[in-house]
Amino acid sequence: MTAGASGDSIAERKMRFLYALRSRGVTDARVLTAMEKIDRGAFVKGLFADRAYEDMPLPIACGQTISQPSVVGLMTQALAVTPRDKVLEVGTGSGYQAAILSQLARRVYTVDRHRRLVREANEVFQRLALPNITAFSADGSRGLPDQAPFDRILVTAAAEDPPGPLLAQLRIGGIMVLPVGQNDAVQNLIKVTRIEDKVTPAQGDKPEKREPRYDYEELRPVRFVPLVEGMAAD
């Protein structure tokens, strides 16, 4: 195959890639532009590199996966990121989702319990010149309290319920999108919006009490790896 033919082939595959996103409900123009700009092929290695532009999850190192592109798009769309937002991503994985978010937000913090994944994702971020991403090796279930609060939080692993530490790190008016479910067969993607706190006025010697409140919206069935506490051994 000639270089020109190879280039045409990649261009055609990318065009089909974007068409597949639209046909599966990714319609936000900013999200589509970000996904057109960030080449998924940069995040897929080895035997599966040739399938980077297919709408399917693919294996990566440490027993993890790079998510199906249409799911990445739908989660990003539901997050409704604005250019001024500070975003936390829990589950760096390949780095693909963080790279998409970097095109939409002011600052992206991403954490993963696998040091190897963070190291390899950082290499790609540097190669693609994405300076507004900061990646940490950390227990994602605890979030990043030193950087909180966040305008948006995206979790790319499934917990039984939204983790309390992550809810607490969400700014009032902020949005968190995450999969929840007790096993990998029954999971739902949900959108959590933090609304104004419930305020109980001070009475006598009792101080004012503020109770965080959240609105929950179920979006669609999904399937993700589980959210695991602690650091991996790698």
User: Which residue of the set 9, 67, 102, 137 is catalytic?
Assistant: 67
Nearest to 225 by CA among 187, 190, 197: 187
How buried is residue 192: exposed, middle or buried, by Cβ count under 10 Å (0-12/13-18/19+)?
Answer: buried
Residue 70, pLDDT > 50, answer yes
- Structure confidence at residue 7 (pLDDT): 54
Domains and CATH numbers, the chain: 3-222 (3.40.50.150)
Return d(Cα 189, Cα 159) in angstroms, integer.
11
User: Dihedrals φ, ψ of 101, to 5°?
Assistant: -60, -35
Instruction: Kindly tell me if the per-residue pLDDT of 4 is higher than 50.
Output: no
What percentage of the chain carries pLDDT values higher than 90? 79
Distance CA 137, CA 92 (A): 9
Query: Is the pLDDT confidence value at 97 over 70?
Result: yes
Q: Is residue 67 annotated as a catalytic residue, yes or no?
A: yes
Q: Radius of gyration (Cα) for the chain, nearest Å? A: 19
Q: Are 195 and 213 a contacting pair, CB within 8 Å? A: yes
Q: What is the pTM of this model?
A: 0.92
Dist CA 223 CA 23 (whole Å): 20
pLDDT tens digits for 15-58?
Answer: 999 999 999 999 999 999 999 999 999 999 888 998 999 999 99
Query: What's the confidence (pLDDT) of residue 167?
Result: 97
Amino acid 118: pLDDT: 98
- Contact yes or no for 96/66 (Cβ under 8 A): yes
Amino acid, res. 162: P
Q: Which residue has the higher pLDDT, 200 or 226?
A: 226
**pLDDT at residue 3, rounded to an integer:** 40
Instruction: Judge whether residue 116 has pLDDT over 70.
Output: yes
CA distances from 88 to 46, 159, 189 (A): 29, 16, 17
- pLDDT of residue 137 exceeding 70, the answer is yes
The tally of CA atoms less than 13 A away on the side-chain side of residue 24 is 20
Widest CA span in the chain: 82
pLDDT at 185: 74
